[in-house]
Structure 1
Amino acid sequence: MELHEGIPDSFHIDTDAFYNAIVNSTEDYIYIVDITKDISLVSENMARDFDLPGRLVPGLIPLWGELIHEKDRQRYYDSIDEMMAGYTDIHNVEYQILNKKNEYIWVCCRGLLTRDESGAPTMFAGVVTPVGSKGKMDRTTGLFTQEECKNHIEAYLNLGNTSGGFLLLGIDDFKRINNLKNHTFGDTVLRKIAQDIQHMIPHKAEIFRFDGDEGAVFSPGATLEDMYDLYSKIHLYANKEHEIDGISYYCTISGGVAMLGTDADNYLDLIKCAMSALEASKKKGKNMCTAFTPALLQSNLYIMELTNELQRCVMNGMEGFSVVYQPFVKTDGLCLKGAEALLRWSSPAVKKVGPAEFIPLLESSGTIVPVGKWVLDKAFCTCKKWVARWPDFVMNINVSYVQIIEKDFVPYIEELLKKYDLPARHIVLEMTESYFVTDMPALKTTFQRLRDIDICIAMDDFGTGYSSLGMLSQTLADIVKIDRMFISLINDKEHFFNRSFIQAVINLCHSIGISVCVEGVECADELDTVQNMSADSIQGYYISKPVSQDEFEEKYWDS
Structure 2
Amino acid sequence: MEDLEKNNREKILKSSNEVKKAKNILKMSYITGNDNFDEIYDALEQISEDYIFIGNMKTMVFKYPAPFIKRVGFPTEIMQNPFTYWKNIIVESDWKKFQESTLNVLKGESKYQNIEFRVKDVKGNITWLRKKSVVIRDEFGSTVTIVGNISFLGKQNKIDPITGLMKITEFFKNFNKKLEKEYIENIGMMIIGVDDFEQINQLYSRQIGDKVLKNLANVIQYNIPDDIPLYKLDGDNFGLILENVDKDEVRDIYSKIKDSLGKIHFLNEENVAINISAGCAIFPKNGITYQELYKFAVYSLLYCKKTGKNKLVFFSEEVIENKVKHFEILYFLKQSIDNNFENFEVFYQPQISTKTKKLKGFEALLRWKCEKYGNVSPVEFIPLLEETGLISLVGNWVLEQSLKTFKSWLEKYPDLKISVNLSCVQLINKNCIPDFKKILEENEFPRENIFFEITESTTVSNIKTLKEIYEEIKALGVNIALDDFGTGYSSFGILKEIPVDMVKIDRSFVKDILNSSFDVTFIKFITEICHNYGIKICIEGVERKEELDLLEGLNVDYIQGYYFGKPEPEKVISEKYLK
Please report the TM-score for the alignment, with normalisation by the length of structure 2: 0.88
Correspondence 1:423-438 to 2 at 5 A? 423-438=446-461
Q: 8 Å contact 1:206–1:218 — kept in the other structure?
A: yes
Question: Which residue is 1:510 aligned to?
Answer: 531
Whole-angstrom CA distance in 2 between matches of 1:380 and 1:552: 15
Residues 120 and 466 from structure 1, CA distance in 2 versus in 1: closer, same or farther, beyond 3 angstroms? farther
Q: 2:395 aligns with which of 372, 388, 403?
A: 372
Residues 555 and 111 from structure 1, CA distance in 2 versus in 1: closer, same or farther, beyond 3 angstroms? same
Give a deviation string over 1:519-552, Cα, whole Å, max 9, x none. 1111112112222222222211112111222322
Question: Which residue is 2:17 aligned to?
Answer: none
Question: Which residue is 1:530 aligned to?
Answer: 551
Give a deviation string over 1:434-486, Cα, whole Å, max 9, x none. 33123333323322211112222222122233234344423343322211112
Output the amino acid matched with 1:196.
V
Q: 2:125 aligns with which of 88, 103, 118?
A: 103
State the identity %: 32
Give a deviation string over 1:173-224, Cα, whole Å, max 9, x none. 2222212433233222222212321222234322222211222111111111
- Does 2:279 match 1:256? yes
Q: 8 Å contact 2:424–2:458 — kept in the other structure?
A: yes
Output the amino acid matched with 1:17.
E
Residues 245 and 37 from structure 1, CA distance in 2 versus in 1: closer, same or farther, beyond 3 angstroms? farther
Question: Which residue is 1:234 aligned to?
Answer: 257
Whole-angstrom CA distance in 2 between matches of 1:368 and 1:425: 25
- Does 2:88 match 1:66? yes
Output the amino acid matched with 2:443.
Y
In the TM superposition, residue 377 of structure 1 has moved relative to its aligned partner by 0.5
When structure 1 is superposed on structure 2, of 93-102 and 203-212 the one drifting more is 203-212
Output the amino acid matched with 1:464.
T
Q: 2:325 aligns with which of 302, 305, 309?
A: 302
- Does 2:192 match 1:135? no
SS in 1 for 2:401: helix
Q: 8 Å contact 1:164–1:223 — kept in the other structure?
A: no
SS in 2 for 1:138: coil
- Does 2:489 match 1:466? yes
When structure 1 is superposed on structure 2, of 73-82 and 27-36 the one drifting more is 27-36
In the TM superposition, residue 398 of structure 1 has moved relative to its aligned partner by 0.7
In the TM superposition, residue 25 of structure 1 has moved relative to its aligned partner by 4.4
Residues 24 and 539 from structure 1, CA distance in 2 versus in 1: closer, same or farther, beyond 3 angstroms? farther
Output the amino acid matched with 1:221.
N
Output the amino acid matched with 2:428.
I
Question: Which residue is 2:50 aligned to?
Answer: 28
Give a deviation string over 1:246-266, Cα, whole Å, max 9, x none. 233123222111111211122
Whole-angstrom CA distance in 1 between matches of 2:250 and 2:533: 45
Q: Root-mean-square deviation (CA), in Å?
A: 2.9
Give a deviation string over 1:396-417, Cα, whole Å, max 9, x none. 1011123222233212222232
Q: 8 Å contact 1:164–1:219 — kept in the other structure?
A: yes
Residues 10 and 379 from structure 1, CA distance in 2 versus in 1: closer, same or farther, beyond 3 angstroms? closer
Residues 48 and 7 from structure 1, CA distance in 2 versus in 1: closer, same or farther, beyond 3 angstroms? closer
Whole-angstrom CA distance in 1 between matches of 2:84 and 2:332: 64
Residues 245 and 499 from structure 1, CA distance in 2 versus in 1: closer, same or farther, beyond 3 angstroms? closer
SS in 2 for 1:144: coil
Question: Which residue is 2:200 aligned to?
Answer: 177
Whole-angstrom CA distance in 2 between matches of 1:15 and 1:331: 90
Question: Which residue is 2:307 aligned to?
Answer: 284
Structure 1 residues not aligned, in runs of 5+: none
When structure 1 is superposed on structure 2, of 315-324 and 347-356 the one drifting more is 347-356
Output the amino acid matched with 1:156.
K
SS in 1 for 2:271: strand
Q: 8 Å contact 2:470–2:498 — kept in the other structure?
A: no
SS in 1 for 2:241: strand
Whole-angstrom CA distance in 2 between matches of 1:100 and 1:472: 43
Output the amino acid matched with 1:538.
I
Correspondence 1:304-453 to 2 at 5 A? 304-453=327-476
Q: 1:456 aligns with which of 479, 487, 495?
A: 479
Question: Which residue is 2:168 aligned to?
Answer: 146
Give a deviation string over 1:33-74, Cα, whole Å, max 9, x none. 567777654322113222333445566321221111121122
Whole-angstrom CA distance in 1 between matches of 2:424 and 2:489: 17
Residues 230 and 514 from structure 1, CA distance in 2 versus in 1: closer, same or farther, beyond 3 angstroms? farther
Residues 453 and 9 from structure 1, CA distance in 2 versus in 1: closer, same or farther, beyond 3 angstroms? closer
Whole-angstrom CA distance in 2 between matches of 1:123 and 1:10: 11
Q: 8 Å contact 1:473–1:512 — kept in the other structure?
A: no
Whole-angstrom CA distance in 2 between matches of 1:184 and 1:351: 43
Q: 8 Å contact 2:64–2:78 — kept in the other structure?
A: yes
When structure 1 is superposed on structure 2, of 133-142 and 338-347 the one drifting more is 133-142
Q: 8 Å contact 2:460–2:491 — kept in the other structure?
A: no
Output the amino acid matched with 1:292.
F
Tell me the matched-pair count.
Answer: 556
SS in 2 for 1:352: strand
Residues 236 and 504 from structure 1, CA distance in 2 versus in 1: closer, same or farther, beyond 3 angstroms? farther
Question: Which residue is 1:483 aligned to?
Answer: 506
Whole-angstrom CA distance in 2 between matches of 1:119 and 1:530: 93
Q: 8 Å contact 2:542–2:560 — kept in the other structure?
A: yes
Structure 2 residues not aligned, in runs of 5+: 1-7, 14-19
Whole-angstrom CA distance in 1 between matches of 2:137 and 2:523: 77
Whole-angstrom CA distance in 1 between matches of 2:97 and 2:348: 67
In the TM superposition, residue 96 of structure 1 has moved relative to its aligned partner by 0.9
Q: 8 Å contact 1:172–1:252 — kept in the other structure?
A: yes
Whole-angstrom CA distance in 2 between matches of 1:8 and 1:415: 76
When structure 1 is superposed on structure 2, of 146-155 and 124-133 the one drifting more is 124-133
When structure 1 is superposed on structure 2, of 438-447 and 78-87 the one drifting more is 78-87
Whole-angstrom CA distance in 1 between matches of 2:226 and 2:25: 44
Q: 8 Å contact 1:206–1:219 — kept in the other structure?
A: no
In the TM superposition, residue 26 of structure 1 has moved relative to its aligned partner by 4.1
In the TM superposition, residue 14 of structure 1 has moved relative to its aligned partner by 4.6
Give a deviation string over 1:369-405, Cα, whole Å, max 9, x none. 2221111001112332333333332111011123222
SS in 2 for 1:407: coil
Whole-angstrom CA distance in 2 between matches of 1:475 and 1:214: 32
Residues 166 and 465 from structure 1, CA distance in 2 versus in 1: closer, same or farther, beyond 3 angstroms? farther
Whole-angstrom CA distance in 1 between matches of 2:531 and 2:60: 71
Q: 8 Å contact 2:115–2:131 — kept in the other structure?
A: yes
In the TM superposition, residue 83 of structure 1 has moved relative to its aligned partner by 4.4
Whole-angstrom CA distance in 2 between matches of 1:329 and 1:34: 88
Whole-angstrom CA distance in 1 between matches of 2:204 and 2:507: 34
Question: Which residue is 2:4 aligned to?
Answer: none
Whole-angstrom CA distance in 2 between matches of 1:10 and 1:40: 16
When structure 1 is superposed on structure 2, of 414-423 and 482-491 the one drifting more is 414-423
Residues 472 and 41 from structure 1, CA distance in 2 versus in 1: closer, same or farther, beyond 3 angstroms? farther
Q: 8 Å contact 2:332–2:371 — kept in the other structure?
A: no
- Does 2:235 match 1:206? no
Q: 8 Å contact 1:179–1:442 — kept in the other structure?
A: no
Output the amino acid matched with 2:530.
C
